[in-house]
Amino acid sequence: MKCLSPFEIEQYILSTPTSRPLEVVDHIAACTHCNLIYHTLLEEQEEWLQALFEEKLPDSFTAQVMDSIESVELEKVTVPNRKRKNPKILKTLRIAMGAALLLVVLSAVILYSVPSLAEALRSLFVKNNMDIGLLRAQEFGLVEHPNITVKDKGYTIKIDEAVADPTRLIVALQLFGPGGKHDRERLVFADGNRIEVKDDQGKVVGELYDMGFTSDFYYMIVNFPEPLQTDQITIEGHITELGSKRKNIPTLAGDWNFNFSMDMTEANKQTTSTPLMGSYTSPDGLTVTLKRLTHMVQGVRFEFDTELSEEALSRSPGELWKQQGMKFHFEDNAGEEIHSVNARKLPSKDSVMSRSSTPGDKPGLMHWSYTFKYLPQDTPYTFVFDGYFILEKDGSMVQFESSKLKEHPIPFAFDGDELMLNDFTVESPPNTNSSEKEGSLHFSGRLRNEFMNSEWIFKDLEGKEYPLSGQGAYSTDGSGWKDGYIVIVESQSNNKKNFFEFRAAGLTKIPDQLQLIRTIVNRLYTNVDWSVPIMEVSKK
């Protein structure tokens, strides 16, 4: 579908959700160009809304209407010069004045109430919070209004909107203080406060958390790791305390518990499942087997399995093989990216809502699922496998003289990873992770393999080992699907260049010599070549 003009997008915003073609809804959600125009126009509409429409008529409303009446010029009516007034003319005059008054009043009222537009823009699920899932939920009439109001100790919890399907549940929760204004900081979801989701058998299937999108209400959400198999869910709120000691907000005990049910029947009707075919074995022994796509109103679940060969499994003994990560993307027929997972290229599109990886019934077997906000229906696209990473035993090592690093940096270069060891210091509290001194190795550079979950140690001349923890920042840099690096970020403060650090607790003095050893590497494999065309058919 070609991009829409600003005028067409404006008409789309002003239309009712049920009148919007699904292909237009999907296009605006997926197209960066149209989505930007959509949100820009939406913000303009909202600014006009805030300027023109208030929650109630202002005190000056009556005075404004009367002033308007005084300024209305009525058409001059010539009355015959008779002692006895003509009743027909008087009636015509009264009708004209009444019509003028009605027109003024209606015009003034319209300034404060355009129900369709005002209601849409006041919705808690519009503004910058809207995504393709919520648009589709509106389209299918899945936005429910529980009308929950719970009052205690002068505070009120309200829930006016909720959306659910087998993919996720979103609830808009508001907290009002004694003055009737939003009190966004006082409710903390921790310890005793929680909101649980139960299926029709009473089993807890999820717990909502606050996305923090807004400055007034709580954007509560839960992404279900597995599509729900139930015709009804129950949302139970257990809220017994307001305030936060951590935020220095006085605590207040009370009872703001609530519960309500949501019917999942209609959402389940809109769920379709498409089996996927295809299997591929990489040169280094990972087999990927596609399973199915489950298209729900608010998301699309993509499932596949991976299995390691005996040789690949031997490189990841014990529990290491369970720590895997996948790299892939979807693209349309023009080769344009739809979504990507674990891409290092910039920019990239990541719309993963939830993911899970579960070990199978034998070593080396993993069951995977990813839930995306959107994937096309009735339009062909392609799954492209870009690689994977997995924890493996390693022994890459470099030895250095700690006190001489600043003058003579030492490189650590193995398997595409390129680090430069720049300095070694001993840090004291409070600039440590504990109450004791820490040895600190400062380094810069870049890594081809994944940094997260790799394990490193120091080893001194006596054979004593010190586990290391990282301190600092890193980013990604790449232009393609298989290239790119983890780049160590260098910062500048007080005219001093600061590097990433490896910290070793208990190392209280600068040793003569140390070994830096990477015992576990999160090795990246990109020597793969596999893609599968996909065509998912929607329900008509």
The answer to whether residues 254 and 280 belong to one domain is no
The answer to whether residues 497 and 525 belong to one domain is yes
Q: Determine, yes or no, domain membership for 80.
A: no
Q: Which two three-digit tokens encode residue 321? A: 């093989």
Q: Determine, yes or no, domain membership for 55.
A: no
Q: Which two three-digit tokens encode residue 425? A: 């210091």
Q: Which helix (H) or strand (E) holds 13?
A: helix 6-14
Q: Determine, yes or no, domain membership for 49.
A: no
CA distance linking residue 69 with residue 540, whole number of Å: 54
The answer to whether residues 395 and 535 belong to one domain is yes
User: What pLDDT is stored for residue 48 in this prediction?
Assistant: 45
pLDDT digits (tens, 9 = 90+) for 151-163: 999 999 999 999 9
Q: Determine, yes or no, domain membership for 258.
A: yes
Nearest to 325 by CA among 314, 317, 316: 316
The answer to whether residues 263 and 294 belong to one domain is no
User: What pLDDT is stored for residue 253 in this prediction?
Assistant: 94
- SS3 string, 377-406, reads CCCCEEEEEEEEEEEEEEEEEEEEEHHHCC
CA distance linking residue 411 with residue 396, whole number of Å: 12
Q: Determine, yes or no, domain membership for 179.
A: yes
Q: 108 phi and psi, to 5 degrees? A: -65, -40
CA distance linking residue 6 with residue 37, whole number of Å: 7
The answer to whether residues 219 and 236 belong to one domain is yes
The count of domains in the chain is 3
Q: Determine, yes or no, domain membership for 524.
A: yes
The answer to whether residues 408 and 354 belong to one domain is yes
CA distance linking residue 51 with residue 232, whole number of Å: 41
The answer to whether residues 211 and 284 belong to one domain is no
Q: Which of 270, 298, 324 is the last residue of a domain?
A: 270
The answer to whether residues 472 and 394 belong to one domain is yes
The radius of gyration of the chain from alpha carbons, rounded to an integer in Å, stands at: 32
User: What pLDDT is stored for residue 368 in this prediction?
Assistant: 95
Nearest to 287 by CA among 311, 257, 319: 311
The answer to whether residues 449 and 340 belong to one domain is yes
Contacts for 119 with CB less than 8 Å, ≥ 6 apart: none
User: What pLDDT is stored for residue 7 in this prediction?
Assistant: 58
Contacts for 110 with CB less than 8 Å, ≥ 6 apart: none
Contacts for 320 with CB less than 8 Å, ≥ 6 apart: 390, 391, 392, 393, 520
Q: Which two three-digit tokens encode residue 249? A: 């907000």
Residue 109, pLDDT > 50, answer: no
Residue 511, pLDDT > 60, answer: yes
pLDDT digits (tens, 9 = 90+) for 169-219: 999 899 999 988 888 889 998 768 999 999 999 999 999 998 877 777 888
Q: Which of 233, 255, 270 is the last residue of a domain?
A: 270
Mean pLDDT across 322-340: 95
Q: What is the mean pLDDT of the chain?
A: 82
The answer to whether residues 506 and 357 belong to one domain is yes
pLDDT digits (tens, 9 = 90+) for 451-499: 999 999 999 999 999 999 998 889 999 999 999 999 998 876 666 778 8
Q: How far is C-alpha 357 from the chain's CA centre?
A: 19
Range of the domain at 19: 1-36
pTM of the model: 0.68
Q: Please report which confidence band the pLDDT of residue 241 belongs to, taking 50, 70 and 90 as the band edges.
A: very high
The answer to whether residues 207 and 305 belong to one domain is no
User: What pLDDT is stored for residue 266 in this prediction?
Assistant: 92
Residue 535, pLDDT > 70, answer: yes
Q: Determine, yes or no, domain membership for 93.
A: no
Nearest to 338 by CA among 275, 385, 381: 381
pLDDT digits (tens, 9 = 90+) for 350-360: 888 888 898 99
Q: Which of 270, 303, 333 is the last residue of a domain?
A: 270
Q: Determine, yes or no, domain membership for 400.
A: yes
| Burial category of 33 from C-beta neighbours within 10 Å (exposed 0-12, middle 13-18, buried 19 and up) | exposed
Tokens 């990541």 correspond to 350
Higher pLDDT, 98 or 305: 305
CATH number at residue 171: 2.60.40.1630
The answer to whether residues 9 and 140 belong to one domain is no
CA distance linking residue 452 with residue 473, whole number of Å: 12
Q: Which two three-digit tokens encode residue 378? A: 């009735």
pLDDT digits (tens, 9 = 90+) for 411-438: 999 999 999 999 999 998 888 877 788 9
